[in-house]
Chain A
Amino acid sequence: MSAETQTTRRIRVFRYKRGDDEHRYDEFDVPVSERSTALDALRWIQLRQDPTLALRHSCFHASCGTCGVRVNGREGLGCVTALSDVSGDTVTIEPLANLPVLNDVVSDVTPFMERFPEPHPYIRKSEFISEADTPDDVDAYGRFEDCIECGICLSACPVAATDDTYFGPAALAYAQRMLEEARGADREALLDWADSEHGAWRCHASFECTEACPSDVRPAQRIMLLRKELGNRKKEVSS
């Protein structure tokens, strides 16, 4: 088995600690291989160079959504952003845009979560495989929705860049998804929530959220479908 080729990349990392007046950037020379990811680099820095570097991650395979960062200005999940795909002598890693920074490259996702309409179930029961037998100790299968709530779409959105009151792609996509499979949810309340200057009508169809989404949620498309629902509702009311 041949060893992977190792090179050194200059990694420039956004640094901010609570109490700092402003952020700064620190640079590190990190040994990387062809398969190294942005998260690998950050972990190497934390383990070998600077233990004060704060980062957040969990699953390492793009399903938890906790390692969202910007790499050379583009949003992505750190665990699957290959450094070999990032050009330039220096790789800059920054926290997601449009969300407050907690610590270094860790964003505070609370304002992201608060944009969702209430309640916001993380797991919903699936009806599609009702015929399937569950193991004895499992009442029913749960199914995760596509959205991993990484906040990447909000970071990419040009409207969220200037309007912090915009509900954002994830929350609106979630609402549209709920309309597709309401399962007892109050459709009219959801539509009222979405039918807002801060909601579906604030989107300008740049589709950057869809471009950036690592989980194929296609939030922009869902927002357009939400608008269609709102338009149909208006027709029903007026007819």
Chain B
Amino acid sequence: MSVRRGADPGTEGIRSARDDVGPIPRKNVGPVAWFDIRKRGLGQFAFSLNRLTGLGLVFYLYLHLAVLSTLFRGQEAWDDFLGIATTKAFLLLDVLLVFGLLAHGLNGLRLALIGSGRGIDHQKALYRSCQVIGTILLLGAALHILGGD
């Protein structure tokens, strides 16, 4: 079997030896593939959640800076904001934030370990541990944030 050599994926991308090949089937449209966990393994779920929470947290970073800008306007403006921020609905969003932080942070720790070649054969167990630890911490945080004590 002869195989054409010499293409550099770094610059040329996917190519074919023939000019008349057909379409390139994709399982999803573009980045939807990053979040499609149907019939996929635990690692895909971890990757998808990590990406989703990462993007969510970047959005939150700027939302947070925008909200904190209220402080520029002084005490009254901030107290008005606190009136909204201490409602149950808003505090639920804080719990969602904690979920995002835990999901991204704990899995990130797992990725730092396996990405540097440690615990590679136990990546599923590591993720299950992250899920257990994260759930416990999330429950504790939620009880505190929503319970008001």
Instruction: Tell whether, in the assembled complex, residue A98 and residue B24 are in contact, meaning their CB atoms are under 8 Å apart.
Output: yes
- The answer to whether residues A161 and B22 also contact, given A114-B15, A205-B115, A227-B116 and a CB cut-off of 8 A, is no
Q: How many residues of B contact A (CB 8 A)?
A: 50
A63 in the interface, Cβ–Cβ < 8 Å? no
* CB-based nearest B residue for A204: B47
* CB-based nearest A residue for B119: A224
- The answer to whether residues A224 and B18 also contact, given A205-B47, A207-B41, A211-B41 and a CB cut-off of 8 A, is no
Instruction: Tell whether, in the assembled complex, residue A95 and residue B26 are in contact, meaning their CB atoms are under 8 Å apart.
Output: no
- The answer to whether residues A224 and B114 also contact, given A111-B14, A162-B30 and a CB cut-off of 8 A, is yes
Instruction: Tell whether, in the assembled complex, residue A94 and residue B25 are in contact, meaning their CB atoms are under 8 Å apart.
Output: yes
B89 in the interface, Cβ–Cβ < 8 Å? no
- Of B3-11, B97-105, B130-138, the one with at least 4 CB within 8 A of chain A: B3-11
- Of B32-40, B61-69, B72-80, the one with at least 4 CB within 8 A of chain A: B32-40
Q: 0/1 per residue, B100-128, Cβ < 8 Å to A?
A: 00000000000100111110110100000
Which residues A152-199 have CB closer than 8 A to chain B? 158, 161-162, 164-167, 196-198
The minimal Cβ–Cβ distance linking B118 to chain A, given in whole angstroms, is: 8
Instruction: Tell whether, in the assembled complex, residue A113 and residue B3 are in contact, meaning their CB atoms are under 8 Å apart.
Output: yes
| Most A C-beta atoms less than 10 A away, residue of B39, B51, B111, B117 | B117
Instruction: Tell whether, in the assembled complex, residue A111 and residue B16 are in contact, meaning their CB atoms are under 8 Å apart.
Output: yes
Q: Which residues of B contact A161 (CB under 8 A)?
A: 26-28, 33-34
Q: Which residues of B contact A20 (CB under 8 A)?
A: 22
The minimal Cβ–Cβ distance linking A215 to chain B, given in whole angstroms, is: 17
Docked Cα-Cα span, A71 to B3, in Å, equals 27
Instruction: Tell whether, in the assembled complex, residue B44 and residue A101 are in contact, meaning their CB atoms are under 8 Å apart.
Output: no
Instruction: Tell whether, in the assembled complex, residue B5 and residue A101 are in contact, meaning their CB atoms are under 8 Å apart.
Output: no
Q: Which residues of A contact B46 (CB under 8 A)?
A: 205-206
Q: Which residues of B contact A208 (CB under 8 A)?
A: 40-41, 43-44
B17 in the interface, Cβ–Cβ < 8 Å? yes
Instruction: Tell whether, in the assembled complex, residue B16 and residue A108 are in contact, meaning their CB atoms are under 8 Å apart.
Output: yes
Q: Which residue numbers of B lie inside 8 Å of A, CB to CB?
A: 3-7, 9-18, 20-28, 30-31, 33-34, 36, 38-44, 46-48, 50-51, 111, 114-118, 120-121, 123
